[in-house]
């Protein structure tokens, strides 16, 4: 299939593999932590797969189409630099967090995926060229041609997700009907936002300011935020407190904690640092004029009528800590009051809310629809569905409703394909 005896080709590929392994070994020596070693070994497996794909493309494309020394050097050098940037950034964040590193890591990962996903697609599809060999026929080129087209489409799609989809929110309007809703609350408008992950925007407040203006322009009766203000540390929100304070609603802005808000994704030097980080997260929201419901509840009044607003801290699943306590938040979970629950993780709804309570409406986030989805009419699909049975939109079990918001910011990579930032307008209607 390929001729591997050419010395120059072996020289380039071996140098590339040596460079990659050297980076990994260096990081393994620096980081003695067992968890870090596991993560780095995962990276090593990923790099091995990358090496196989790159080697294939090197011989199949670079050597076949442009057999020039500078082109070969550029191909391998670029690959080493990209992976090196990603690995060094991850190591920097784990060993001594800096919010600037986090923002750079976002874009290093995007660069990595934007370059490697099309290559992987090309690798898999172009292998069909060799199927005729099984029947003693000559190889074809149709697989390669199709692979090139699909790879190009994938590359353009990722560019669109990073530079358009990530920065153009959608407004989804939903009606929730209930015969328990007091008449004074018929037509009551709640705007839900979720998962800001402010590190997604560095220190640039322009997009978040746009979100605030759009929400205020919708004139809500209440605004709720369903967790994950930041990705790792409270100081990600330093530049945004003033902007977030501009939210306006008749009954105020109410918020809960998400899994990222507790500082569980940072290797703190002391327990006191983590405690202070948590305190700072809560203080920032208070400074912005938000009212937090940390395993607590309140009542919203219209004349003599009222509805209950309940908020739980993050309802985590093993191995993540469990902070949420619904029974502490609201003592009589099956009373006749119309009840709205803010709970970050939608799995909470199936695990506890539906089986044990008569809570009328639950609002969650957390899934982001994994920042990738395809929607055609009412049908939609996302990788998130493999992990979460309720991952986006409105769900109903008997007279109980759940709405899952796809969030505003990004985690892991700065890209939203199909799953654009979401502002949800929920209108309560009485029968």
pLDDT tens, 164-198?
999 999 999 999 999 999 999 999 999 999 999 99
Spatial contact of 222 and 252, defined as CB atoms under 8 Å apart: yes
Q: Which of 113, 6, 9 is nearest to 62 (CA)?
A: 9
Is 203 inside a domain boundary?
A: yes
3-state secondary structure 250-309: CCCEEECCCHHHHCCCCCCCCHHHHHHHHHHHHHHHHHCCCEECCCEEEEEEECCEEEEE
One domain, residues 240 and 330: yes
- With a CB cutoff of 8 Å and minimum separation 6, the contacts of 410 are 106, 166, 197, 200, 368, 371, 416
Q: Tokens 């009840």 label which residue? A: 339
CATH number at residue 287: 3.60.21
One domain, residues 108 and 156: yes
One domain, residues 157 and 286: no
Indicate the residue among 128, 163, 198 that finishes a domain: 163
Domain count, the chain: 2
- 294-304 confidence digits (pLDDT tens): 999 999 999 99
Is 67 inside a domain boundary?
A: yes
- 390-402 confidence digits (pLDDT tens): 999 999 999 999 9
> Does residue 229 register a pLDDT over 60?
yes
The confidence band for 38, taking pLDDT boundaries of 50, 70 and 90, is low
> Does residue 354 register a pLDDT over 80?
yes
Is 212 inside a domain boundary?
A: yes
One domain, residues 159 and 280: no
Is 2 inside a domain boundary?
A: no
Indicate the residue among 134, 163, 192 that finishes a domain: 163
Q: Tokens 């060799």 label which residue? A: 130
Q: Report the mean per-residue pLDDT for the chain.
A: 87
One domain, residues 388 and 308: yes
One domain, residues 193 and 148: no
The confidence band for 10, taking pLDDT boundaries of 50, 70 and 90, is very low
One domain, residues 351 and 315: yes
**pTM for this prediction:** 0.85
> Does residue 30 register a pLDDT over 80?
no
One domain, residues 317 and 181: yes
Token reading at 319: 């191995």
Q: Tokens 């409406």 label which residue? A: 361
One domain, residues 147 and 197: no
What is the rounded CA–CA span in Å between residue 113 and residue 3? Answer: 29
- DSSP letter assigned to residue 223: E
Question: Domain residues for 414?
Answer: 171-430
Is 1 inside a domain boundary?
A: no
- 406-422 confidence digits (pLDDT tens): 999 999 889 999 999 99
Spatial contact of 396 and 177, defined as CB atoms under 8 Å apart: no
Indicate the residue among 123, 147, 163 that finishes a domain: 163
Residue 127 CA, chain-centre distance (Å), reads 32
- Per-residue pLDDT, 231: 92
One domain, residues 64 and 101: yes
One domain, residues 88 and 230: no
> Does residue 25 register a pLDDT over 50?
no
- DSSP letter assigned to residue 418: S
One domain, residues 146 and 257: no
Is 45 inside a domain boundary?
A: yes
């Amino acid at each position: 299939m390929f001729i591997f005896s050419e010395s120059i080709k072996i020289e380039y590929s071996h140098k590339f593999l040596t460079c990659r392994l050297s980076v990994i070994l260096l990081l393994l020596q620096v980081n003695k932590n067992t968890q870090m070693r596991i993560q780095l070994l995962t990276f090593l497996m990923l790099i091995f797969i990358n090496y196989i794909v790159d080697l294939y493309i090197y011989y199949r494309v670079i050597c076949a189409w442009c057999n020039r020394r500078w082109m070969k050097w550029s191909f391998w050098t670029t690959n080493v630099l990209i992976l090196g940037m990603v690995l060094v950034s991850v190591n920097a964040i784990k060993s001594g967090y800096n919010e600037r590193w986090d923002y750079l890591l976002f874009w290093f990962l995007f660069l990595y995926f934007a370059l490697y996903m099309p290559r992987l697609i090309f690798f898999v599809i172009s292998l069909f060229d060799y199927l005729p060999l099984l029947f003693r026929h000559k190889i074809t080129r149709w697989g390669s041609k199709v692979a090139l087209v699909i790879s190009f489409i994938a590359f353009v799609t990722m560019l669109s997700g990073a530079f358009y989809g990530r920065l153009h929110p959608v407004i989804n309007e939903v009606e929730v009907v209930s015969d328990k809703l007091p008449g004074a609350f018929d037509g009551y408008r709640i705007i839900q936002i979720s998962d800001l992950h402010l590190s997604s925007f560095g220190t640039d407040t322009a997009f978040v300011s746009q979100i605030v203006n759009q929400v205020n322009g919708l004139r809500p009766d209440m605004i709720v935020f369903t967790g994950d203000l930041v990705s790792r540390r409270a100081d990600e929100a330093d530049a945004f407190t003033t902007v977030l304070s501009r939210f306006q609603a008749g009954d105020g802005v109410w918020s809960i904690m998400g899994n990222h808000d507790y500082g569980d994704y940072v290797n703190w030097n002391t327990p006191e640092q983590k405690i202070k980080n948590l305190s700072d997260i809560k203080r920032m929201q208070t400074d912005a004029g938000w009212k937090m419901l940390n395993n607590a509840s309140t009542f919203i009044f219209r004349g003599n009528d009222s509805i209950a607003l309940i908020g739980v801290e993050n309802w985590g699943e093993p191995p993540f800590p469990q902070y949420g306590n619904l029974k502490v938040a609201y003592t009589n979970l099956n009373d006749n009051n119309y009840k709205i629950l803010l709970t970050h993780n939608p799995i909470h709804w199936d695990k506890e809310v539906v089986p044990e309570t008569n809570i009328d409406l639950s609002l969650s986030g957390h899934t982001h629809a994994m920042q990738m989805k395809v929607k055609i009419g009412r049908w939609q699909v996302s990788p998130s569905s493999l992990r979460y049975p309720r991952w986006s939109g409105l769900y109903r079990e008997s007279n109980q409703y759940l709405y899952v918001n796809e969030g505003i910011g990004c985690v892991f990579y700065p890209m939203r394909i199909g799953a654009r930032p979401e502002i949800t307008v929920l209108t309560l209607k009485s029968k």
